Amino acid sequence: MTTPSLPPVPEPFRLPFHYGALHQLGVDWPVDPGPVRDLLAKHHPDLSAAEFEGRALVSLNLLDITAVLDGLDPVPANMAPVTGYGTDPDGRLLAGPMNVYQPYRWYDLTAPGHADRIRLTVHPGEEDPGRDVGALIGDAPAAGAWTHRSAPVAAHNRPYYLPSRPAVVGHEPA
């Protein structure tokens, strides 16, 4: 099996990695895994939804989110590396590693009344993302929020292609 070439370096970057100051808010929603599986089958058929106690975790952060976290005590969480997965326009699997140099601050929103601290605004439109996010989240309560801000907080490395199916030792393809 030949190793596929690397994906192109995205504009406006000139190097296959970049450093940046990330000022980020993300929110996690445990949701019914069925719609998550359907969406992955549509956009990323070689990926699958991970389930936690029968729920899939939808975690969002380049959207219109308002969070009131005043008075909540965060806990440090998730020192790197973090890898994001997806596909390119040709459907090839991608993995993009990111090195995080300090912990995120995670806020537990499972206590009564805490999920109401999050407001997600989904802007409807012609594109799939707004429609898909609304279908996935629905009226599910948020379970947690995470933040970080400092410079530099991360180095994002060049994504690489993954084989479409992992090789199974001792098994020949049909």
For the chain, what is the domain count? Answer: 1
Q: Quick one: pLDDT at residue 14?
A: 66
Q: What is the pLDDT of residue 55?
A: 93
**Tens-digit pLDDT profile for residues 110-159:** 888 887 888 877 766 656 666 788 788 888 888 888 887 666 556 677 78
Q: Is residue 173 part of a domain?
A: no
Structural domain harbouring 149: 21-162
Q: Which residues contact 25 (CB under 8 A, 6 or more apart)?
A: 61, 65, 67, 145, 146, 147
Predicted TM-score of the model (pTM): 0.66
In a domain, 102, yes or no: yes
Domain assignment of residue 7, yes or no: no
Q: What integer pLDDT is reported at residue 54 of this predicted model?
A: 93
Is 1 within a domain?
no
- Distance of alpha carbon 132 from alpha carbon 122, whole angstroms: 10
CA dist 9 and 157 (Å) reads 10
Q: What is the pLDDT of residue 34?
A: 93
Residues listed for the chain: 174
Q: What percent of the chain has pLDDT over 90?
A: 9
Residue stretches of the chain with pLDDT short of 50? none
